[in-house]
């Protein structure tokens, strides 16, 4: 007899708990999905450098000048990419904060 009473009390308590949980739930209002534009910039490629010859100093200097020029151009591309990426980041933050 005691076991059936305990079982009944347990089922009643469990039922009240479930009803309480369900009654306290609120429906979340539907929100429109955020439209985040894709990043328009393409990562710069690593420049291909010329191999410097041994024994021919004038040719090595010429090729080293070409390599330095390519590296400087690559740095400029990376700086521009970084600016675009930072602007994109700020745009995404503004969209999320609306």
Mean pLDDT of the chain: 88
pLDDT exceeds cutoff 70 at 1 = no
What is the per-residue pLDDT across 7-43, written as a single tens digit (0 to 9) for each? Answer: 888 888 898 888 878 777 777 788 888 888 888 888 9
pLDDT band (50, 70, 90) for residue 5 = confident
Residue 50: exposure state from Cβ atoms within 10 A (0-12, 13-18, ≥19)? middle
Mean pLDDT, range 70-95, rounded to an integer: 95
pTM value > 0.75? no
Euclidean distance between CA atoms 4 and 70, whole angstroms:
86
């Amino acid at each position: 007899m005691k076991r059936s009473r305990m079982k009944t009390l347990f089922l009643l308590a469990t039922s009240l708990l479930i009803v309480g949980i369900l009654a306290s739930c609120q429906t979340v209002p539907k929100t429109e999905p955020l439209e985040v534009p894709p990043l328009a910039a393409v990562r710069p490629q690593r420049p291909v450098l010329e191999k410097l010859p041994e024994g021919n100093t004038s040719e090595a200097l010429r090729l080293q000048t070409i390599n330095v020029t390519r590296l400087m151009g690559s740095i400029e591309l990376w700086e521009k990419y970084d600016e675009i990426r930072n602007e994109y980041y700020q745009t995404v933050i503004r969209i999320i904060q609306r």
